[in-house]
Amino acid sequence: MIWAFVLLALFQAISGWNDGGNLLGLFQQVAPKPWLSFSLLVIGVALGPFVLGTGVAHTIGQDIIVLRAGDIHVLNEALIATFITLSLSWIIRMPTSTSLALVGALIGAAWVSLGLVSIHWHGLFMTVLSVGLSVTLGFAAGTGLYRVERRVRNASDRAWRPVWIRLSYLLSLIQGVAYGANDAEKALGLAALLLLISHRAATFVVTSSIILASIGVWIIGCLVGGQRIAQTVGGAFYRLKPKHVVSIQAGAAIVVVSAAALGGPVSTTQTIGSALIGVGNTLRHQRINRVKVATLYAAWGLTLPVAVVIGAVTAWIL
């Protein structure tokens, strides 16, 4: 039992360095006070589940696979596989989807340990569909907002820079709320499921203590390993300016908040990445690094099948 909680904490810490690094990569490009952006982000992440509810936690905890008492080993196997998948992504400095990594690992582990009958195929399809749509909608939102911003703006970049910086601080808080109500809830759903199948709770419920403990571990992970991913997001694709970052932040926040309100688990990492690419695709005076973009999309496309395989192999070994 205790190992399950240790592995869950490890998963949330890795989410901190993968997803948190993805968010930090944007803030560091525009904020003269990065500590303020980070503080607002953390506040938003903590508020997310309280403001927008815990629909995503219920989706992850109840709508992907069927686990009953005695099936804790399946959750352990899936968390180990998720850790391996996300570690591979961190090694190559590419932010990927914790959603796809976790769902793939759950499917692989459940397949080997419990059989295909344990998989909720409808819930799996809707989750993969949500993640896929987040990429498309993130690209469209980033592109559309930057084009609107470019038409509205009638002064020099230098004159608008203070506006972009203030907006970036506000969007740090909003993006934190969006992340807290979506990506961060994956660990909440698993924690509530773990308490249920271990008979520590009578029903599936996400308590305030689960939320606060999970966010605390996420913050530690972000501080420890987030900088490696942040360097890729902040400078590997093209030179980000404040006006770019605001469009990326706003576009991603709109998509993720909408998904959280509907209970659909999407990837904040992929939504931000696709919005970043969407903005870069409209730039006139600088080129986006197509090789890095292709590598990023390849990492996204491989995450789910790789996680399924690793989950299955982990379950077979254990």
Instruction: Tell me how far apart the terminal alpha carbons of the chain are, to the nearest angstrom.
Output: 16
- Both structure tokens of 285: 């005076």
pLDDT of residue 285: 60
Q: What is the pLDDT of residues 32-66, one digit of tens each?
A: 677 787 888 889 989 988 988 888 888 888 888 88
pLDDT of residue 109: 94
Provide the whole-model pTM: 0.81
How many C-beta atoms lie closer than 10 Å to residue 233's C-beta? Answer: 26
- Both structure tokens of 189: 């759903």
Per-residue pLDDT of the chain (318 residues; tens, 9 = 90+): 677 788 888 888 888 877 887 777 776 666 667 778 788 888 998 998 898 888 888 888 888 888 776 678 888 999 999 989 988 887 877 777 888 888 899 999 999 999 988 888 888 888 888 888 888 899 999 899 888 877 776 555 666 677 777 888 888 888 888 888 888 888 898 888 888 887 777 788 888 889 999 989 998 988 887 777 776 666 667 777 777 888 888 888 888 888 877 777 777 778 888 888 888 888 766 677 778 788 888 888 889 999 999 999 999 998
pLDDT of residue 29: 62
SS3 of residue 207 by DSSP: coil
Q: What's the sign of the alpha-carbon dihedral 98, 96, 124, 115?
A: negative
pLDDT of residue 284: 66
pLDDT of residue 108: 95
H helices of the chain, where?
A: 2-15, 21-30, 34-52, 55-62, 72-91, 98-114, 121-152, 157-180, 185-197, 208-235, 242-262, 268-280, 290-317
Cα separation of 94 and 232, whole Å?
A: 7
pLDDT of residue 157: 61
Cα separation of 222 and 224, whole Å?
A: 6
Residue of 288, 31, 298, 299 whose CA lies nearest to 143: 288
How many C-beta atoms lie closer than 10 Å to residue 72's C-beta? Answer: 16
- Both structure tokens of 265: 């688990």
pLDDT of residue 288: 76
Cα separation of 299 and 296, whole Å?
A: 5
Angle at 153 between CA 148 and CA 155, to 5 degrees: 165
Side-chain-facing half-sphere of 50: CA atoms under 13 Å = 13
Contact 85, 223 (CB under 8 A): no
Dihedrals phi, psi of 119, to nearest 5 degrees: -95, 130
Contact 264, 185 (CB under 8 A): no
Domain locations in the chain as residue ranges: 2-317
- Both structure tokens of 226: 């987030």
* Side chain identity at residue 55, one-letter code: G
Place of tokens 């004159």: 159
Contact 253, 176 (CB under 8 A): no
- Both structure tokens of 176: 């934190």
Question: Taking each helix axis from N to C terminus, what angle separates 290-317 and 268-280, rounded to the nearest 10 degrees?
Answer: 160
